[in-house]
Amino acid sequence: MLSKSQNKLLRSLQRKKARQEHSLFLVEGGKAVSELLGSGWPLHSLYVSDSFAAAHRVALTGCKVPVTPCSVEALTAAGSLVSNRDAIAVARIPAAGVPQMQPGQWVLALDRINDPGNLGTLLRIADWYGIRQLVCTEDTVDLYNPKVISASMGSFLRVSLVHTDLHAWLAGLPEQTPVLGAYLTGTSVHQLSGDLQAGVLLMGSEAHGIDAGLESLVTQKITIPSFGAAESLNVAVATAIICDNLRRITG
C-alpha cells in the first residue's frame, strides 16, 4: 500500500523541477525495472506488484532499498504509463560531466530535441551503434523525463547524456576533431571517407535543423540522399541512418 507521502513523491517526479531537487527519477514497467535491478544502478526505493515481487524475489532480496508492495491500480495511478502491472523504481540521478573525446569513439550531439519519444529513441539508437556519450543543448527535453526513460527501452543504463552549452563544448574540442553536421545538403552519407574513425555527429531538431550559430563549428556537412518525395525524415530515423553509415565505413 502506498502512503500519502510516497504517492506524492512519485507524482512529483513527473516534473523536472522535483527531479532536480531530489536528484531522483522514475523507471516504470516490468521490463525496465527488471533491467535496472540487474544493472547495479543506485536506487532510492521500489514499488512492486505481487506478481513482479514473486518473479524477482532474488533480485529484490539483494537490493538494499525499501520495497513497497502495491496494487496494479496504485502503480498505474502513481506513474505515467497507461497501465503498469509490475513495478516503479525511484532511481538516483548520477553526477555527469561533459563528454571527452576518446580514440575510436563517436559522440552524438543534439540541438534542441523537444520530443521525449524522439530523445528516448535516440538513446536506444546510440546504444545499438555503441555510442556511449551524448551531449545536448540546455533546452533539449530532460533525460529523466519518464517518457524519455520509457522510450529508451533500457538504453539510459548504458549511455550518458549531458545537457550543456553546446556551442562552448564544440568550440572547446581538440583541434582536428571531425564535427559532422546533418543538413539537407552536403556530402552523401554513402560517400563518406573511411578516414573518419571518430568524432562528433551533430543533429538538429526536425522543426528547426541545426542552429545557425553552431554552423561554423561543423567541419563537414553531410546529408542522407533521397530517392523519393518526402520532405524530411524524423530526427531519430535520420540519426540511425547516419550512424549505420559511419559504422559501415569504420566498423
Residues within the interface to a copy of itself (CB under 8 A): 121, 124-132, 153-155, 158, 189-190, 224-234, 236-237, 240-241, 244-245, 247-248
Q: 205 - beta bridge partners?
A: 209
Least CB distance to a copy of itself at residue 2 (A): 30
Residue 20 CA: distances (Å) to CA of 159, 176, 220, 242: 20, 36, 36, 33
- Between 10 and 135, CB nearer to a copy of itself: 135
- Between 6 and 118, CB nearer to a copy of itself: 118
Q: 24 - beta bridge partners?
A: 92
Residue 136 CA: distances (Å) to CA of 59, 87, 210: 34, 30, 12
Least CB distance to a copy of itself at residue 180 (A): 16
Least CB distance to a copy of itself at residue 56 (A): 19
Q: How many CA atoms lie within 13 A of 73 on its CB side?
A: 1
Least CB distance to a copy of itself at residue 189 (A): 8
- Between 51 and 234, CB nearer to a copy of itself: 234
Residue 127 CA: distances (Å) to CA of 157, 176, 205, 227: 9, 25, 20, 28
Which residues are within 8 A (CB) of 229 and not within 5 positions of it... i.e. 6 or more apart?
none
Least CB distance to a copy of itself at residue 32 (A): 12
Helix H or strand E segment including 117: helix 116-128
- Between 54 and 184, CB nearer to a copy of itself: 184
- Between 66 and 130, CB nearer to a copy of itself: 130
